[in-house]
């Protein structure tokens, strides 16, 4: 099974722009959380920001999963039944492992 599927190309069509946007947002949130901890901000405020960063990462993961299903899994199912079944099994393990 080709791990990269067909999305290995560079450029605008090769990037999951929604996931990238969400990951950059989460990166900014984590930097803010670090500053909050360094500045000894109020703990519930820090925990609220941690929850927001988790949510941003979760949404980025869902965006990546959606793209994977719409492209790699769909293509595999159309082309080879066994490869499609293997990708579905892999996807389900990822969902279970990461709580998505």
For the segment 58-97, what is each residue's pLDDT rounded down to a tens digit?
888 888 888 887 887 777 777 766 777 777 788 778 888 8
Give CA–CA dist 34/30, Å, rounded: 6
Structural domain spans, the chain:
17-98
| pTM for this model (two decimals) | 0.70
CATH architecture of 17-98: Up-down Bundle (1.20)
For the segment 10-25, what is each residue's pLDDT rounded down to a tens digit?
555 556 888 899 999 9
Give CA–CA dist 20/61, Å, rounded: 10
């Amino acid at each position: 099974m080709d791990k990269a599927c067909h999305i290995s190309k560079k450029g605008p069509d090769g990037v999951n722009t929604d996931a990238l946007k969400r990951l950059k947002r989460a990166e900014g949130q984590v930097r803010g959380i670090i500053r909050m901890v360094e500045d000894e901000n109020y703990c519930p405020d820090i925990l609220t920001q941690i929850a927001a960063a988790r949510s941003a990462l979760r949404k980025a993961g869902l965006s990546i999963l959606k793209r994977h299903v719409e492209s790699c899994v769909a293509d595999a199912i159309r082309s080879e039944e066994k490869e499609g079944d293997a990708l579905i099994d892999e996807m389900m393990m990822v969902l279970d492992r990461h709580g998505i």
